[in-house]
Amino acid sequence: MQEKTEIESYNHPQDIGSPRGGTPQYENYSDYDVNEKNVDVSDHGAMEEQVGTKRGLSARHIQMISLGGAIGTGLFLNSGGNIASAGPAGALIAYIVIGFMVFCIMTCLGEMATYMPISGSFNLYASKFVDPALGFALGWNYWFSWAVTIATELSAAATIIDYWFQDNQVVPDAAWSAIFLVLILGINTFGVRVYGELEYWFAMIKILLVIVFLIVALLVTTGAVGGHTIGFSYWKDPGAFNNGVLGTVGVLLSAGFSFQGTEIVGVTAGEAKNPHKSVPRAIRNVFWRILIFFILTMLFIGMCVPYDLPELSTSSDAATASFTIIFNIAGIGVGAHIVNAVVLSSVLSAANSSLYTCSRTLMALARDGKAPALFSRTTRWGAPVFATLASSIIGFACVFVSLYRPDDAFVWFLSITAVTGFISWTGIAAAHLRFRKAYVYQGRDLNELPYRALWFPFSPIFAIVLTVLIVLAQGYGAFYPEWDTTTFFIDYIGIAPFILTYGGYKIFRRSKVIPLGEVDLDTGRYFPTAQDEIDNENDLHRPWYKKMFSAIV
């Protein structure tokens, strides 16, 4: 058993974030992402002070968690508005450009996450490979971004419920938001396996709606339903583009917001079974599924509906959503109710993924010494309960802020989330550049990487350049045709937290960029276990129909 000997003799340095330093060995390394020390802190022994989370997520769980985080209100409710802003061709181009950029980012993240599958967030890679200040800033900004996303989704869920109680609203929106928060809080405190299984089915509902929509839209545009063939006639009249180049540029940030959540694959890596195999598979499958869903959805909406249709620019609820419009064209009278029900489950799924990501990010910050050690504690079943509670409290506080000026708050929250998401993507690409350079500088063999990013160094450089350009250019409306102070702050407020946290850490901790020769490429590195090899062998001998099902689902 050469493999077991290699694992047992592997020396784990303590800097992976244990607040107490020690890292005693576990017999089964595959069950935990980092070895841990248990200390009972309650009379019933329900809590343990531990720095590890259990590897309870299979490849299908990881894929659906990322799908659940990415496919949400951005696709169901905002897609029509993007087409109204840029035209069908302009919006489609924006989504294709962002899709390619996200692919570059995902392949960068995949290389790091398979080599070093640390539970929490990619900010740890920035701390280890670039500069602790960058990891600190990325971590807190990513955490805040998802906390705001929780608020956005909970507020949206309450609004969606209002659709069925327009004439008799007996329950306030805040009460609905509180009910939904308790629901997702309960799911996240039961451990990663319960969360992963529920999120799998949440995401499945959304995927089924998208598939049904694509089929209906195809029938509508070909004339099989609705009475006449539409084809690309709306691309001629009123046209394929709206607002020219600026219209397409303006949609890039919104398109990026729709794709955000795909990077959750990297957050789940530390809780993945057999990460050398499950993480690369999840990254490939998640990206292509999201890309196909988004591109085809935007294509069919642009074919079935003219961009100057008034309902598209006001598609803020199920009654005016582009999905509902096309269902109505097809003669499906209950389309609005179907869309509303699925969008509700979609929003709850996105809130569920947001709280999961938020809590793991805070836990990772605590393990890395950049947040109070309390947030690194988990229950016996591996749930970071204090990090989860803190994240949910901040999220719900944002909900109450949104109650005073709901429309304005949503715009601010959306802008903050989108900009911080782009900053996070920039951090992933920067961390990968340093990781690969350090790996080569230290004389390591690239063939030993379990997964290699495509097109290095083009992928990370392209991602960095494009994300920076989009963040800077998306606020052109504040300068043209005339100066607008409110627009300026809305478009660029998301940059401020990153600058403040990065600069503050630099000033008080005086951190420096880590020299390539001193980059730690061993702590947290994952070596396949004997069980991993058994699973790989069993996977090779699975029946063909099971392999086909896995490829589809």
Digitized pLDDT (tens) for each residue of the chain, 553 residues in all:
443 333 333 333 333 333 333 333 333 333 434 434 333 333 333 333 344 555 546 666 666 666 666 677 678 777 888 999 999 999 999 999 998 998 899 889 989 988 988 766 678 899 999 999 999 999 999 898 888 888 878 877 887 787 787 666 677 777 888 888 888 888 888 767 777 778 788 778 888 888 888 999 999 999 888 778 899 999 999 999 998 888 898 888 888 888 887 887 766 666 666 677 777 777 777 677 777 888 999 999 999 999 998 878 765 555 557 888 888 888 887 777 887 888 888 888 888 888 888 888 898 899 888 999 999 888 877 788 899 999 988 877 777 766 666 666 667 777 888 888 899 999 999 999 999 999 999 999 998 898 899 899 999 999 999 999 999 888 887 887 788 888 888 888 889 999 999 999 999 999 999 999 999 999 888 766 655 555 555 565 566 655 555 555 4
pLDDT for res 65: 65
pLDDT for res 9: 33
Token pair 């063999």 is found at 445
pLDDT for res 505: 95
pLDDT for res 38: 36
Q: Quick check: 265 and 283 in contact, CB under 8 A? A: yes
Task: Classify domain 57-552 at the CATH superfamily level.
Answer: Amino acid/polyamine transporter I (1.20.1740.10)
Q: Quick check: 241 and 89 in contact, CB under 8 A? A: yes
Look up residue 106 and give its two tokens. 């995902």
Give 129-162 as a 3 state SS string.
HCCHHHHHHHHHHHHHHHHHHHHHHHHHHHHHHH
Q: Quick check: 55 and 271 in contact, CB under 8 A? A: yes
Q: Quick check: 16 and 523 in contact, CB under 8 A? A: yes
pLDDT for res 463: 95
Radius of gyration of the chain (CA): 23
Q: 68 CB contacts (<8 Å, ≥6 apart)?
A: 199, 202, 203, 206, 261, 349, 350, 352, 353
pLDDT for res 459: 94
Number of helices and strands in the chain (H, E)? 22, 2
Strands of 323-397, DSSP E: 378-379
217 exposure class (CB count in 10 Å sphere: 0-12, 13-18, 19+):
buried
Token pair 């719900």 is found at 396
477-481 contacts at long range (C-beta below 8 A, 24 or more positions apart):
477/250
pLDDT for res 532: 54
Predicted TM-score (pTM) of the model is 0.80
SS3 48: strand
Neighbouring-strand partners of residue 304: none
SS3 41: coil
Cα separation, 356 vs 348, whole angstroms: 12
Look up residue 281 and give its two tokens. 């598979």
SS3 220: helix
Q: For residue 384, is the peptide bond before it cis, meaning its omega torsion is within 30 degrees of 0? A: no
pLDDT for res 528: 65
